[in-house]
Amino acid sequence: MIKEWKRNCPKCNKELIYYSRRGYWYGNKNNTMCRGCTRIVRGLSYPSRRGCYLTKEHKKKIAISATWRHKIYGHPMQGKRHSAESKWKIQQHSAGMTGKKHSKSTRLKIRNSKLGKPGPKMSPDGLRRLRIKRINEISNAKYNGGQIMPSYNVISCDFFKNINKKFGWNGKYALNGGEYHVKDLGYFVDYYEPKLNLVIEWDEKSHYDINGKLKEKDKFREQEIKSNLKCYFIRIKEREFNEELTTKNIYEIIKNKQKIF
């Protein structure tokens, strides 16, 4: 829990909250006022710097100061998450061109500015080590019963291995015979147990929108697989994954023969 220190503005009696003991001590020692009162007082003697242009050197000093504070007192957003509304506002602010379109000449300028600017080049030795590393990964995957394509989630494979061992199943997944291919639809499923006709999909955060809802394309894909295989279909949300609870839920579904389609 984040600690808070409170005191009142000596001028307007507004409550001031401090998240560092040092700031609270400094405020008490110098009898500092709230921002509103400070601006009023400064306006009588000298103008505020609000809206003034900052030089590169000044910005660099501010960045160094902020980094130092975060190291000592922690980042103010540490352990927190933006709400869906805040994320949407940040996206709108970042977009800038929301609801507008670049002209053809502007698009051409942007395209030309990006051409001919390759990323940093690797040294010949770095490229050699990268080639060897990738070849070893492919070899290990191929000769240990795994798959090369499509890509797969290693964490999910550990869970699938555990449920196979716990229940005595022989479900197919990336590292156990490769992901099952639904040929009629052209889909690969993360886990498939043929005897039980059970499909388990492991969903990373990319499968959900900003509000935490499953994307429409994934819903459509799920319905197609259910209709084609007439199977049990279970989704595991990676963010909320709890191995013990998930294993228990899967067991209950199979035990009670509750078909989810």
pTM of the model: 0.47
> Residue 255 corresponds to which tokens in the numbers above?
């035990």
CB atoms within 10 A of CB 162: 12
Sole residue written with tokens 């052209």: 186
Classify domain 150-256 at the CATH topology level. Endonuclease; Chain A (3.40.960)
CA distance 160 to 173: 7
Residue boundaries of the structural domains of the chain: 5-73, 150-256
CA 20, 24, 29, 30 torsion-angle sign: positive
Ordered per-residue pLDDT tens for the chain, 261 residues: 678 889 999 988 889 888 888 888 888 888 888 877 877 776 654 444 555 567 788 888 888 887 777 777 777 777 778 888 888 877 777 666 656 677 888 877 777 776 655 567 778 788 788 878 877 777 777 666 666 666 788 889 999 999 999 999 999 998 888 889 888 888 889 999 999 999 999 999 889 887 888 999 899 999 999 999 999 899 999 988 899 999 998 888 888 764 443
> Residue 219 corresponds to which tokens in the numbers above?
């819903």
CB atoms within 10 A of CB 189: 22
